[in-house]
Chains A and B, each alone.
Chain A
Amino acid sequence: AQSVSQHNHHVILSEAASLELGCNYSYGGTVNLFWYVQYPGQHLQLLLKYFSGDPLVKGIKGFEAEFIKSKFSFNLRKPSVQWSDTAEYFCAVNAGTGGFKTIFGAGTRLFVKA
């Protein structure tokens, strides 16, 4: 069965610090990978996604993620966080040929100190 593991449940950073959130998945075949974000009081929304091609994916608000197939990882990065990045971040995967079933990680709650 597919599973997604997010390494950190809570992260606290100061503004301008660099961010890296870890995500590993277990599935041996072709995958589609996603990062979703939930800002306080808002719905879950897509941050970025990887289907194929360039393993370095750029998303909204300066976020990027790198797919490393050999490590089954899809870590999220941002060079300089802002207070407005305070949110909960979820990594998700679906099997590329297996339909729409999407498995989410437990989430990482990021707090950025102003």
Chain B
Amino acid sequence: GAGVSQTPSNKVTEKGKYVELRCDPISGHTALYWYRQSLGQGPEFLIYFQGTGAADDSGLPNDRFFAVRPEGSVSTLKIQRTERGDSAVYLCASSLGEVGNEQFFGPGTRLTVL
């Protein structure tokens, strides 16, 4: 079946603008994760959802970042008042609902803030 998809694949924006990044998980996966990966680093945990609720958002760097998953499937990561330091690849992953299950990653969205 289809894997995790993310749109857009690339996003260029100007400092101070608002952006939305979308993730479509694998059908039936109740857990969904967002990560941020900067050059030369591993994925940095941002938030994960179990169903519709954000079960752990401790990785969100500040209140400019917000994510939703209103129907327990598609998720949107929202970044307000973007800063140049937000430039990174934003990865989404999904998994079945038990702790420790394999996470299936999407291709990522490369965000560039000018």
Residues of A participating in the B interface, judged by any CB pair closer than 8 Å: 4, 6, 9, 32, 36, 43-46, 49, 51, 90, 92, 94, 96-97, 99-107
Contact = CB atoms under 8 A, between A and B. Distances in A.
Size range of the chain B interface in the assembly: 20 to 34
Q: Closest 6 CB pairs between A and B?
A: A104-B42, A32-B100, A44-B105, A46-B102, A43-B105, A104-B43
Given A32-B100, A43-B107, A97-B99, 20 more contacts: A32-B99, A36-B105, A43-B3, A43-B106, A44-B43, A44-B91, A44-B93, A44-B105, A45-B105, A46-B103, A51-B100, A96-B99, A96-B100, A99-B48, A100-B50, A102-B45, A104-B35, A104-B42, A104-B44, A106-B42
B62 interface: no
Nearest to A45: B105
